[in-house]
Amino acid sequence: MRISGLVRWLLVTGGVVTGWLAYSATQTNRSLPIGLAVPAGRKTFYGPTSAQLSYYEDTAAAGRPLVLLHSINAAASVYEMRPLFEHYRAQRPVYALDLPGFGFSERSNRDYSIDLYTNAIVDFLRHIGGEPADVIALSLTSEFAARAALYYPDLFHSLTVISPTGLGDPDDSATLERAQAGGLSETVYKAVSSPVWSQGLYNLLTMRPGIHFFLGQSFAGKMDAGMADYAYLVSHQPGARYAPLAFLSGRLFSPRILEQVYQKLSIPAMVLYDTDPNVGFDRLPALLEASPHWRARRIPNTRGLPHFERMGKVAEALGGFWSELPA
């Protein structure tokens, strides 16, 4: 009876899962109309070492360019940087890039890798030209921006990272390093990106309740409803699943980013942080001690998106940081 009961359970569970995958893959609308992440002009260009890229700009004001880089997650977009864009657009030229696989940039089924994202940032900074830029990156994208700054410091005037990855528990980094060295990340990636169930899995992750749950964790107070709505729309587009599945596999993280990149930067850099349910800062003191180029500013009573909840404090921190830099 126990065996037959287990068999029945497996058959029912398998039928439910199969039914969900079939329904999700065929019935979910993946071409919802989306507007602009920020109310500004949008352009496209081809990054010679990356992809077809889309970006927003407001160049009405004079000054040093400010470049904003959103995070990598299941439903990422430039909307994540919207408060910064709106705050600075009247003060200086501001640009915000749709990273490969997100927004209006190319979302093809390709190899989404650390090199691709690093190259996209370099391509974009070269594309806008002019003087070196002040760059602000969010979460995991901090790692790619830091790599770009390490390889091409002449493109950067400064780098600010908001809730960056790579500064958490050393044991987590060691676990990630073992997983990547042993091929586990690639195995997971191949599993989750299987054409049999990848669309159904992604659809499950980007249902409205899931988006509201995960996004809500990044706010100390009330979640930004506009951001949640936009996240749902951008996650329901053709090809939207490809880049997020690479993120979910762990293959986009660098386990030794602190030692190999952050500590080696030669440009002025700053960390903005407080508490974050997904990111730790255990090794931030070690970074500040090891490198004279880094500083940090805590934005209290925030979580992963301090610029949404305390933009005034964020602007104060940025203004103080930039005022100390050479013109």
Q: What is the tens place of the pLDDT at every residue in 114-167?
A: 999 999 999 999 999 989 999 999 999 999 999 999 999 999 999 999 999 999
Sheet holding 156-162, edge to edge: 41-46, 52-58, 94-98, 66-69, 133-138, 156-162, 269-273, 294-298
The pLDDT confidence band at residue 188, using thresholds 50, 70 and 90, is confident
**Domain segments of the chain as ranges:** 44-323
Percent of the chain with pLDDT over 90: 76
Mean local confidence (pLDDT), 171-195: 82
The pLDDT, as a whole number, for residue 182 is 79
Beta bridge partners of 133: 156
The pLDDT confidence band at residue 21, using thresholds 50, 70 and 90, is low
Is residue 5 scored above 50 in pLDDT? no
The pLDDT confidence band at residue 28, using thresholds 50, 70 and 90, is low
d(CA 131, CA 143) in angstroms, rounded, equals 23
The pLDDT, as a whole number, for residue 26 is 53
The pLDDT, as a whole number, for residue 77 is 97
Angle at 34 between CA 31 and CA 40, to 5 degrees: 150
The pLDDT confidence band at residue 253, using thresholds 50, 70 and 90, is very high
Tokens describing residue 85 = 């864009």
Is residue 8 scored above 90 in pLDDT? no
**Mean pLDDT of the residues in the chain:** 90
Mean local confidence (pLDDT), 73-97: 97
The pLDDT, as a whole number, for residue 187 is 86
The pLDDT, as a whole number, for residue 20 is 47
Domain 44-323 - what CATH class? alpha beta
The larger pLDDT score, comparing residue 241 to residue 27, is at: 241
pTM to 2 decimals?
Answer: 0.90
Contact (Cβ atoms closer than 8 angstroms) between residue 45 and residue 98? no
269-286 pLDDT tens trace: 999 999 998 899 999 999
